[in-house]
Structure 1
């Protein structure tokens, strides 16, 4: 939980609100979070990934009560991603053991349809036993200053959370980095380069002149 304990890499964004600003910000936040709340992977399905918003201090919580997301002028919540995938080598090993047991019992190797059924049954068994991999990315949103921080180091993760926020809240996130800020303010990218003073060029010239 980097937002409340310790430091980690984060990305900052300016939040460009929708044209129709909500009258009740807290209600608007809760409604949007619930609409895109995390739902666990259905183990009986084929899905291998699930994602959505959760409470900051409870990665299982999706009630989003005012007390769980409001910290002064900040709204704090998180984005959770679960993955559940049966490794191919594990499934093949189980299938080989099943085929050997089948041949020993029946006196013949399993047919194509029997093998397909066995594979499906074994895959479901392994999915039921598997523990999903979970990643949780914290978000800190200063609603008054219209600034959002996504606490993630991976660019892919940041982009996924960005898309989720923009979709759920109907807003636009603008990166708060020098190049992007300069572009929004009509400044040329070349103007962001280091100055002669910063590089010490003038100082070097003065020293050389004095030595001459």
Structure 2
């Protein structure tokens, strides 16, 4: 699923470091991307390859003209990884045949020596690799050059790890930092709010992994707050910068699927609640036993437009993020302006959805860090303990 899809999954990063001056930026970026450009292995026996490619020309990347990867304030390209895969059962079968041929010529042996077995396995694997076409895998990314926000259109931990490594090798003076709950919350708050948030920070250091693992409460409490507020019909308004004007009303609620997790004698216990709900009796029952919401499907609605996505409470990665539909007409026809138009509309809708999400998070933080949080907690506790029949 790429940026042109109506439904995508993604993680967001902050790009830290100093960029060259505007007049030197294109040549610098072009050279950095060409230095780690994707190279095909179809005509070789190599097992895998990875690199940067042009999103609209994945088989023929160049990065020599701005139109290939630069769209207004966005840098737009893709990470591509091709890999030959041999099914383990097939490899085992062919190795067995090769070992049988080896023993047929040496009746005095019951099995090949260890070194010979290793060489047979290597030769067999290489022979099969030369006959297998590499399977391509591409992941789009959009880098907002003005605010340093980079969106990687995948929420896979392995893909994120490989992307971070390749980005670091390509742009030596820059580094990417995934935006997780604590860092996202901090960026939304003013100085006074940041001080209050810091007082609740349970991490022992400013390392990202520590802040993620030690502050799970932030994402979990946010989802609990939204579950209660959405079911109670609480109204929300845009209060962060973006596509919509400040004060624009919108609706938000949790529905379709909730995953909860909590510790138990036999280890972590998980509960999944699926389907359209009225009172979420099963989820409320799990919450009263000490479980916390680990992920949930959030719905956002403004006028007749609706956004929907699954939010991971620990990392704030977005899965199955569905925006109002955008269609690339004349599919299959090479018309770059058509795709550019779809790109800008897609980014507009994506950023509009994220603006509403950030507004929700900021409104939660204002309550969580304010004097009325204990009152809100009591309201939530009363709701959880209310009639569940």
- TM-score where L is the length of structure 1: 0.74
Is 1:167 the equivalent of 2:169? yes
What is the CA-CA distance between 1:172 and the residue it aligns to? Answer: 2.3
What is the CA-CA distance between 1:117 and the residue it aligns to? Answer: 5.5
CA contact (8 A) 1:81 1:135 kept: yes
Match of 1:199 in 2: 376
Closer, same or farther in 2 for the Cα pair 1:128/1:11, shift >3 Å? same
Match of 1:210 in 2: none
Match of 1:142 in 2: 144
Which ranges of structure 2 fall in alignment gaps of 5 or more residues? 202-217, 222-363, 383-389
CA contact (8 A) 1:50 1:83 kept: yes
Q: What CA distance in whole angstroms lies between the structure 1 residues aligned with 2:140 and 2:91? A: 34
Deviations 1:46-73 (A, max 9, x none): xx43221111122222212322101121
Match of 1:57 in 2: 56
What is the CA-CA distance between 1:14 and the residue it aligns to? Answer: 2.3
Q: What CA distance in whole angstroms lies between the structure 1 residues aligned with 2:379 and 2:94? A: 72
Match of 2:10 in 1: 10
Q: Which residues of 2 match residues 49-128 of structure 1 at below 5 A?
A: 49-64=48-63, 65-101=65-101, 106=105, 108=107, 112=113, 118-128=120-130
CA contact (8 A) 2:16 2:176 kept: yes
Which ranges of structure 1 fall in alignment gaps of 5 or more residues? 206-212
What is the CA-CA distance between 1:87 and the residue it aligns to? Answer: 4.1
Match of 2:30 in 1: 30
Q: What CA distance in whole angstroms lies between the structure 1 residues aligned with 2:118 and 2:378? A: 73
What is the CA-CA distance between 1:22 and the residue it aligns to? Answer: 6.4
Deviations 1:112-139 (A, max 9, x none): 4776665443222201112323321111
Closer, same or farther in 2 for the Cα pair 1:103/1:147, shift >3 Å? closer
Q: Which moved more, 1:115-124 or 1:25-34?
A: 115-124
Partner SS state of residue 9, structure 1: strand
What is the CA-CA distance between 1:36 and the residue it aligns to? Answer: 1.2
Closer, same or farther in 2 for the Cα pair 1:15/1:21, shift >3 Å? farther
Q: What CA distance in whole angstroms lies between the structure 2 residues aligned with 1:155 and 1:103? A: 44
Deviations 1:124-169 (A, max 9, x none): 2201112323321111011122221111121231132123223312
What's the RMSD between the two structures over aligned residues? 3.5
What is the CA-CA distance between 1:202 and the residue it aligns to? Answer: 6.9
Q: Which moved more, 1:109-118 or 1:17-26?
A: 109-118
What is the CA-CA distance between 1:29 and the residue it aligns to? Answer: 1.3
Higher relative contact order (Cα pairs below 8 Å, separated by 6+ residues)? 1
CA contact (8 A) 1:43 1:127 kept: no
Deviations 1:75-115 (A, max 9, x none): 110011222344443233113323445666x4736864776
Aligned length: 202
Q: What CA distance in whole angstroms lies between the structure 2 residues aligned with 1:5 and 1:174? A: 25
